[in-house]
Amino acid sequence: MKSFLIIFCLIGVSAFFSSCDNDLELIGPKVEVPIIYGAISISDPFVFIRLERAFGDNNISPLELSKNPDSLYYNDAVVTISLPSKNFSVELERVDATTLGFPRDTGVFANTPNYIYKVDKDQFIFEPGGKYNLSIKVKGKEYTSSTLLINLIEIVQPKISQPLLWNPKVDEVITQSPLFWFQNKEGSQEEASPAIVSLFVRFNYNERDQAVSQEYIPKSLLISVAESVIPDGNRFRYSINKIYAKIGESLAKSATIDRYSTSVDFVVVTGGKEFLDYNEALAANSGITGTQDFPIFTNIIGGFGIFSSKNTQNFPGYYLSELSLDSLAVGRYTKELNFRK
């Protein structure tokens, strides 16, 4: 949930507070634009909407405005999400996300309070393929958007019944690397297929430091394998060398420590079409002919931001083949980590 929030919630704000220059020239005596972020997720404990405002005043410096919560947040907004196909509608409650264990990153903007609008998971109706409408009413205006809730997925390959053949190569060719292949959960609507995918591997292992104890302690390492992939036919290939290299650089090297692999989990983060549209807008603005400004992508009518859906799914219980365990024990990336075969 966090990786998607950092990317999107300040896109519009940056247009008004770029570089936090106290001499920034604002258009007119006052400028106010709502900045909205929301992503419905079956896998999160609650559904939330972040609502902020880009607010400028020629009489107050941008830096001072950015530190004032009264300039950053609305006090009288009514935020509603509805699912007409189920005759469902719910008004979200404004809360300080810090009290939920989600502090705002420190920086130029006020980080306390960290207001969001939320509804608990058990008070929400999730219908993959369903069209959800967002309505935000504030100061006599209404800002709207809609999105489809993306499908949950199932892994086709690798098969959980077969060991993972993870063997790093001296000259890795991605077209010969392992295939990750998923499909929509049975009964899903094709138009609600995930449009963008990030793949992580959770490498699980037991570790013992004989200088401290003879007992093995379960540990894990989460490794980013593929980020913001646009899958071709719900499939793509991923780098094994990248996985072993991350293990090699992340774990402590010591003659008193030994380890053995226990299992591997695949963690898949999927996003809706709106996230793909944003990435494409960003790519179109990059390169030697690109401008220095962020692309202005929005699917919020009357405002700026994004309303979409995303899911994080964990698929545990995979394990490495004997040959892969050999590579872990004596391969160039991990041979100093004392992995047992």
Task: Based on the fold, state whether residues 128 and 20 are members of the same structural domain.
Answer: yes
| Confidence bin at 59 (pLDDT 50/70/90) | low
Range of the domain at 23: 2-149
On whether residue 196 sits in a domain, the answer given is: yes
Query: CA 56 to CA 70: how far, in whole Å?
Result: 12
| Confidence bin at 106 (pLDDT 50/70/90) | low
Residue where a domain terminates, one of 149, 172, 195: 149
On whether residue 25 sits in a domain, the answer given is: yes
Task: Based on the fold, state whether residues 264 and 145 are members of the same structural domain.
Answer: no
Residue where a domain terminates, one of 149, 182, 211: 149
On whether residue 330 sits in a domain, the answer given is: yes
On whether residue 121 sits in a domain, the answer given is: yes
Q: How far is CA 253 from the centre of its chain?
A: 31
On whether residue 245 sits in a domain, the answer given is: yes
CA angle (141, 143, 144) in 5-degree steps:
145
pLDDT at 310: 96
Task: Based on the fold, state whether residues 184 and 320 are members of the same structural domain.
Answer: yes
Cross-strand pairs, 200:
224, 267
CA-CA distances (angstroms) from residue 82 to 122, 146, 156, 315? 15, 9, 33, 31
| Confidence bin at 112 (pLDDT 50/70/90) | low
On whether residue 301 sits in a domain, the answer given is: no
* Residue among 174, 263, 249 nearest 218 (CA): 263
Q: Which residues contact 19 (CB under 8 A, 6 or more apart)?
A: none
pLDDT at 70: 56
On whether residue 282 sits in a domain, the answer given is: no
Residue where a domain terminates, one of 120, 149, 178: 149
Instruction: Report whether pLDDT(297) > 60.
Output: yes
CA-CA distances (angstroms) from residue 161 to 42, 201, 205, 319? 27, 17, 19, 9
Task: Based on the fold, state whether residues 219 and 322 are members of the same structural domain.
Answer: yes
**Tokens matching residue 30:** 């006052």
On whether residue 259 sits in a domain, the answer given is: yes
pLDDT at 174: 86
pLDDT at 38: 95
Task: Based on the fold, state whether residues 92 and 193 are members of the same structural domain.
Answer: no
pLDDT at 97: 87
